[in-house]
Structure 1
Amino acid sequence: MSPRLVPAQRDATGRRDRPLRVTVDGVPADGIAGQTLAGLMLASGRTSWRRAPSGAPRGLFCGIGVCFDCLVTVNGEPDVRACRRRAVDGDEVTTHSRAGHGDADGPGRTAREER
């Protein structure tokens, strides 16, 4: 894979990018058709979009839908994996935060911290 962009007029595949716009927490973010929500957010300069119970920032980790670190709410549907969901023009994305919310280990603590 090449790290450089190919100008549209020289693209041998004939690809023509179609721009789209979504909102992330009410802020417009531009992308292109076919791009995942995670890719669009990364390209917009966002490296994290939720917080773990410990308060640590979380964003894209595995990029293939296994780890669930990239969860967002899309058009009111919670727990969407941003790395697996293609962006659609007009999507409304809301980021998550579990910081300070309890889980099986207690509010903001992990099992390791309990020991």
Structure 2
Amino acid sequence: MTRIQSHPVLGNTSERLRVPFYFDENLYEGYESETIAAALLANGVRMLRVHEESGTPRGLYCNIGHCMECRVTVNGESSVRACLTTIENNMKIYSGQQLPNPVKRMVEQE
């Protein structure tokens, strides 16, 4: 993991409990009270989802809960903002995937 080890406000990571979690079926490790976004970034994960229509990659943008670019599925709940949600022990997180285009599907069926 790549991260700051000592911070004047957040303290030392060596004093925090490690928390295992899954992202797209891969096991990662973060620290207690860390957001999903921070834990994924520290583990080298930059793409959190793809655009629903175009399929282009999306990652963190504002990291303060305004833009909705970091939406992931957490333990079956969709559209969870990774920048505002803290990781929990063995949490199952999935990236957002491209959705079928209903207009394109209707044209293909004609």
**Which TM class, normalised by the smaller chain length?**
0.7 to 0.9
**Aligned residue type for 1:92:** K
Structure 1 match to 2:28: 29
Distance 2:4 2:42 in 1: 15
Query: What aligned pairs does 1:19-98 form with structure 2 within 5 A after superposition?
Result: 19-52=18-51, 53-98=53-98
Task: Tell me which stretches of 4 or more aligned residues in structure 1 moved more than 2 Å.
Answer: 3-7, 100-103
Structure 2 match to 1:110: none
Distance 1:44 1:68 in 2: 21
1:17 counterpart = 2:23? no
Which protein shows a greater Rg? 1
Change beyond 3 A, Cα 1:4–1:65: closer
CA RMSD across the alignment: 2.5
Bigger shift: 88-97 or 14-23?
14-23
**Aligned residue type for 1:64:** I
Give the fraction of aligned pairs with identical amino acids, expressed as a percent: 30
Give the CA deviation at 1:4.
5.7
Report which of the two has the higher share of strand. 2
**Aligned residue type for 2:38:** G
Give the CA deviation at 1:89.
1.0
Distance 2:94 2:4 in 1: 32
Distance 2:56 2:12 in 1: 42
Distance 1:39 1:14 in 2: 15
The 8 Å contact of residues 6 and 12 in structure 2, kept in 1 or not, is answered as no
Paired residues, number: 98
Distance 2:68 2:85 in 1: 12
Change beyond 3 A, Cα 1:56–1:77: same
Distance 2:20 2:6 in 1: 22
Q: Which runs of 5+ in 2 are unaligned?
A: 105-110
Bigger shift: 53-62 or 64-73?
53-62
Distance 2:12 2:43 in 1: 25
What is the SS of the residue equivalent to 1:92? strand
